[in-house]
Structure 1
Amino acid sequence: MKLLHHGRYALLLKFSLALGISISATQYKIDQQGVAYAGETKQPPAKKSNKVLLGTDDLTSGIPGKGPLTVKEIKEWLSQPENHEILEVSLPLGLSAGTAQIVGLKENPLTRAKIELGRQLYFDTRLSADNTVSCASCHHPDEGYGRRTQFGVGIKGLQGGRNSPVSYNRILSGAQFWDGRAASLEEQAVGPIANPIEMGNTHENAVKTVKEIPGYQIQFDKIFKEGVTIDNIGKAIASFERTLVTGPSPFDFQEQLRPFLKMDKEDLEDLEEEYKATLALTKANPMSKSALRGRTLFFSEKVNCAACHLGPNLADEKYHNLGVGMTVKNPDLGRYVVTKQEKDKGAFKTPTIRNVALSAPYMHDGAFETLEEVVEHYNKGGHPNPYLSDKVKKLNLSDQDKKDLVEFMKACTGAFPKVESGRLPQ
């Protein structure tokens, strides 16, 4: 490659790295789900590497085979040394700029065996008091890792007062739940087990149940020195959830192309191979004209959705009062219940825009069934109350502006890894 004039290549490279953009677009291949894989092929090597790209099927497809997991199959899986190696993880295009934000791996390193154990527990209703509710009951892969009910539904049809938050891209998130009451993903994973309106169990009984299942007992004894404990149940589930990562979206491919569109003809000639490869990826995963206009609005000073929805996961990990649910007599006070700080009354954690089109209904109380309703809420400036965020203001959007913003959010949809939801120990 020739050097660009006036040092522009160095500037472009620096700019691209800051955004997590790969200039060498030829290093990416796209499978039928639209996931970008590093290297010339998605075919795994004969021996599993300890370097893995999150968001791929490899980590979530379960122990090979059909039907319930047998003790024999589990022992064979556990006998393979590579399944116990600590994994070095990388994030796919779009999220890759968030590598420094990855949370929890130092305290709870990922291994294939631990991830697989967490997958089993995530889908196992035996963690609940009456064997009817699992983690997936409120965070199901077929429903955007949320649930299409206004509120979470637990044992005996009991309902809470909040919508089920999504469980993907949690590897970039510290505090969990709408109010951030769980300091870690491990803490969040075991909370619902003992919640009377969720799984309705006790931690002691859940541990007892797991110990009585031979397939689980074998795995815990091999993976954890302490065997089956509630903390280790949380570590396993959290490990699986950290692999639930969204693949590149049309928005991500378009963002990878943007630096090239700002270059002059001479510079493009020097980066012709990279430009053509990037352009091909963008054309294979296009944003509509409406979505492109929506992207401009989203990041504009006028609309400024990016005041809260920013960064690799398009979420600031902070808490804001948007005026949602503040019209009722006794509103949910959200973050205030945790911090007891007046400014946090009615404030809830910013959800990600990634794959938001798949996780209706919206807001902490599931108040809005469509993205159109969400945009209209912001357009009106939320509902006035003493704690309304200063970031929420009337927008005076046209009908076309509203449509464009919705189309942009839909263009932030990437593929989920394929997950085996069955294949549990007998």
Structure 2
Amino acid sequence: MFFNISRYLGRFKLVGCVVRNFLILLVGLVFSVNALANPNLGLPPLNIPADNPQTAEKIALGKRLFNDKHFSADGTISCASCHQEDKAFTDGLPVAVGINGQAGTRNTPTLINAAFFETLFLDGRASSLEAQVLGPMLNPIEHGLQDQQVIVDLIRQDRSYTEAFRKAFAIKVDEINISHVTKAIASFERTLISGDSLFDRHLFGRDHTALSSSAERGLTIFKNKGNCVTCHEISWNNALFTDNRFYNIGVGFKQLTPVLDKFIAFVRQGNNPDYFPLTAVQRSELGRFNVTKNLADIGKFKTPTLRNIALTAPYMHDGSMKTLEEVIDHYDIGGDQNRFIDSKIFPLHLTTQEKQDLVAFMQALTSSKSPNHPTGE
């Protein structure tokens, strides 16, 4: 009787196949469990400034200040007026509206994940959350407060606030200064982080059922034919959907066209650009130039994150586009051409289906949960 080795080899192959499939399933389950357990899936590590560590007391104080309308000239505006949680910390308006119903010149950017950004504001004029805080408070249209001392005085006159500052910073009433205010609000804003979108579960959670077939096609277009990923970056281990750089993408530039040649000549003659007569909207449309005074930066604005983009309409720095479809159409034709438009903006020749797929992908960038329960509270 001969030993039937082929029979045993077949059994070994069968067992090996079962073990291999089991291991694949196990790895998939591990990734899925990790994804479900991580509301910040897809985000990089958060860097906390050494001089402003996170504490529960400071975060709670910052949240209170963020929501307090007393810190506005007419008592009607708080930070939360323009940064509303149900709209991904935007306001749903084309441009922000401040005290006495005054309209600003720019669309309100989201605060979700702003803690990761290298610069703040659409022109990048603030380098940190702490530096950003006072901008709206002292803006004559937004909060309309006269100066920093007004803020400090309001706090020192409120016993509940002075007690909260004592707990957060271990300071006496007369030691409270504007730096404590900015640090508290910035600490709260650093809790407004949220990942874990369907896209994150697909790419970083290895859940290949997370995206619809349309959204998956949209991701391919986003990375290739659409050229979107050039500025709205995706890396191998996280995705902020911004490169933190500034571009003229051909939005709103027509506001500058009537005065542009004279303005450029004025600046090249060595004059202070602040003295050239422009409307508020025209000056706003100068974009990054207002910070750098470099003519090459005229009309440039910061690449915004696309996370939660389906919740933050209307779009663009001037709020001029109501839908994602309008945004895609703008890029598809190569933007509104002007002498400063970036070379990355060119006609894409997308089909109707490709446009629909891009929208489906961007709708898959909405986080599973709003960051409404800050760490430490």
TM range (shorter): 0.7 to 0.9
Residue of structure 2 in register with 1:309 after alignment: 232
Q: Distance in 1 between matches of 2:176 and 2:110?
A: 27
One-letter code aligned to 2:160 = G
Answer yes or no: is the 8 Å Cα contact 2:152–2:177 preserved in 1.
Answer: yes
Q: Distance in 2 between matches of 1:234 and 1:110?
A: 13
Residue of structure 1 in register with 2:183 after alignment: 235
Q: Distance in 2 between matches of 1:179 and 1:242?
A: 20
- Given the alignment, which residue of 152, 157, 161 partners 1:216? 161
What SS does structure 2 have at the residue aligned with 1:244?
Answer: coil
Match status 1:385 vs 2:329 = no
Residue of structure 2 in register with 1:373 after alignment: 326
Q: Distance in 2 between matches of 1:417 and 1:209?
A: 29
One-letter code aligned to 2:159 = P
- Given the alignment, which residue of 296, 299, 313 partners 1:360? 313
Residue of structure 1 in register with 2:102 after alignment: 158
Structure 1 residue runs without a partner (length 5+): 1-21, 31-35, 38-54, 56-91, 258-277
One-letter code aligned to 2:348 = L
CA 1:392–1:23: 2 relative to 1, 3 Å: farther
Residue of structure 2 in register with 1:18 after alignment: none
Kindly tell me the number of residue pairs found equivalent between the two proteins. Answer: 314
Structure 2 residue runs without a partner (length 5+): 1-27, 260-281
Alignment of 1:78-89 (within 5 A): none
Residue of structure 2 in register with 1:254 after alignment: 202
One-letter code aligned to 2:324 = L
What SS does structure 2 have at the residue aligned with 1:191?
Answer: helix
Which structure has the greater CA radius of gyration? 2
One-letter code aligned to 2:162 = Q
Cα deviation, residue 176, structure 1: 0.7
Cα deviation, residue 224, structure 1: 2.1
Answer yes or no: is the 8 Å Cα contact 1:294–1:407 preserved in 2.
Answer: yes
Residue of structure 1 in register with 2:357 after alignment: 404
What SS does structure 2 have at the residue aligned with 1:28?
Answer: helix
Give a deviation string over 1:204-250, Cα, whole Å, max 9, x none.
Answer: 11111112222211121222255422111111111111110123000
What SS does structure 1 have at the residue aligned with 2:326?
Answer: helix
CA 1:386–1:29: 2 relative to 1, 3 Å: closer
Answer yes or no: is the 8 Å Cα contact 2:59–2:188 preserved in 1.
Answer: yes
Answer yes or no: is the 8 Å Cα contact 2:73–2:143 preserved in 1.
Answer: yes
Give a deviation string over 1:347-399, Cα, whole Å, max 9, x none.
Answer: 00011010011001111100101000000000000111111011111000001
TM-score when normalising by structure 2 = 0.79
One-letter code aligned to 1:198 = E
Give a deviation string over 1:116-175, Cα, whole Å, max 9, x none.
Answer: 111111111111112110001111101121111111100000111111111110111121
What SS does structure 1 have at the residue aligned with 2:254?
Answer: coil
What SS does structure 2 have at the residue aligned with 1:125?
Answer: coil
Cα deviation, residue 106, structure 1: 2.2
Residue of structure 1 in register with 2:212 after alignment: 288
Q: Distance in 1 between matches of 2:358 and 2:32?
A: 31
Answer yes or no: is the 8 Å Cα contact 1:174–1:185 preserved in 2.
Answer: no
CA 1:129–1:419: 2 relative to 1, 3 Å: farther
Give a deviation string over 1:309-332, Cα, whole Å, max 9, x none.
Answer: 004211111110001001124541
Q: Distance in 1 between matches of 2:52 and 2:64?
A: 18
One-letter code aligned to 2:166 = D
Alignment of 1:15-414 (within 5 A): 24-25=30-31, 27-28=33-34, 30=36, 36-37=37-38, 92-95=40-43, 98-99=44-45, 102-201=46-145, 202-225=147-170, 227-256=175-204, 278-279=206-207, 283=209, 286-300=210-224, 302-311=225-234, 312-328=239-255, 329=258, 331=282, 332-414=285-367
One-letter code aligned to 1:189 = V
Cα deviation, residue 26, structure 1: 5.5
Q: Distance in 2 between matches of 1:174 and 1:181?
A: 11
Report percent identity of matched pairs.
42
Answer yes or no: is the 8 Å Cα contact 2:42–2:196 preserved in 1.
Answer: yes
Q: Distance in 2 between matches of 1:105 and 1:27?
A: 31
CA 1:200–1:419: 2 relative to 1, 3 Å: farther
What SS does structure 2 have at the residue aligned with 1:327?
Answer: helix
One-letter code aligned to 2:355 = K
One-letter code aligned to 1:327 = K
Answer yes or no: is the 8 Å Cα contact 1:190–1:233 preserved in 2.
Answer: no
Give a deviation string over 1:167-186, Cα, whole Å, max 9, x none.
Answer: 11011112110001112111
Cα deviation, residue 109, structure 1: 1.3
